[in-house]
Amino acid sequence: MNPVPRILAFDIFGTVVDWHGSIVREVSERHPQIDANAFALAWRAGYQPAMARVRSGELGWTRIDELHRLILDELLLRFGLDHLGEAQRQHLNHIWHRLDAWPDSVAGLTRLKSKHLICTLSNGNIGLLTDMAKRAGLPWDCILSAEVFRAYKPDPRTYLGVAQTFDAAPAEVMLVAAHQDDLAAARACGLMTAYIERPLEFGAGQPKDVSPDPANTLHARDLLHLADQLGC
């Protein structure tokens, strides 16, 4: 029997919301001439290199909204959309504020919230996460972000920052994520970890390996299955 976490901290992109499907749906409707699947994957692929520029100190502290925009401006050239004006670029960049939740997310979070403090721990900025939660109905107790800690995951200051924010020991916090590298970094800081299978995170054309890692505290198909396992 595992100890019960007091706090559940959730990764967002891919874990709680479907970035790939949401971007593909909106882009293929507005810009039917481009390959929306390739566009979504390329935008997301720019994300880690952009954060690496902040981690290395090449860029000062920069929010994800700004990093998404840097990547987007390059992509628009590559995909032949560089005729888009400033207002259209801003609107498109805010697609990350309008991502749809996976079908189980709202019901799963609502059950988990009944027995745990539930918060975000995302590299997304606070404004992005707030707009997303309001639109999708995600019932967070608190929105925490890399922006609060001025450091991006997998920096230990983010995982330990959640514990410190709530005066908790690291072992009282469980990171919930669909990415083994994020979970491994949290585990190295003493957090419990729950892996969520999201086999379609990158779309149906690029199924993801979702096999269990026994190092995680829990392994769940989705957030409802996590609620089952935590007795919520």
Closest CB to a copy of itself among residues 127, 190: 127
DSSP code for 207: P
Closest CB to a copy of itself among residues 65, 228: 65
- Whether 128 and 97 have beta carbons less than 8 Å apart is answered as yes
Q: Is 195 helix (H, G, I), strand (E, B) or coil?
A: strand
Residue 138 C-beta: closest distance to a copy of itself, Å? 10
The footprint of a copy of itself (CB under 8 A) covers: 65, 117, 119, 125-127, 129-131, 133-134, 141-144, 147-148, 165-167
Segment (H or E) for 177: strand 173-177
Closest CB to a copy of itself among residues 51, 144: 144
Residue 22 C-beta: closest distance to a copy of itself, Å? 20
Tokens coding 49: 């290199």
Residue 144 C-beta: closest distance to a copy of itself, Å? 8
Closest CB to a copy of itself among residues 136, 220: 136
Closest CB to a copy of itself among residues 72, 183: 72
Segment (H or E) for 143: strand 142-145
Q: Which of 154, 150, 142 is nearest to 189 (CA)?
A: 154
Residue 140 C-beta: closest distance to a copy of itself, Å? 8
Residue 74 C-beta: closest distance to a copy of itself, Å? 22
- Whether 55 and 5 have beta carbons less than 8 Å apart is answered as no
Q: Which residues contact 223 (CB under 8 A, 6 or more apart)?
A: 16, 102, 104, 105, 107, 108, 109, 112, 176, 196
Residues found in the chain: 232
Q: Which of 229, 226, 195 is nearest to 108 (CA)?
A: 226
Closest CB to a copy of itself among residues 118, 177: 118
Residue 110 C-beta: closest distance to a copy of itself, Å? 13
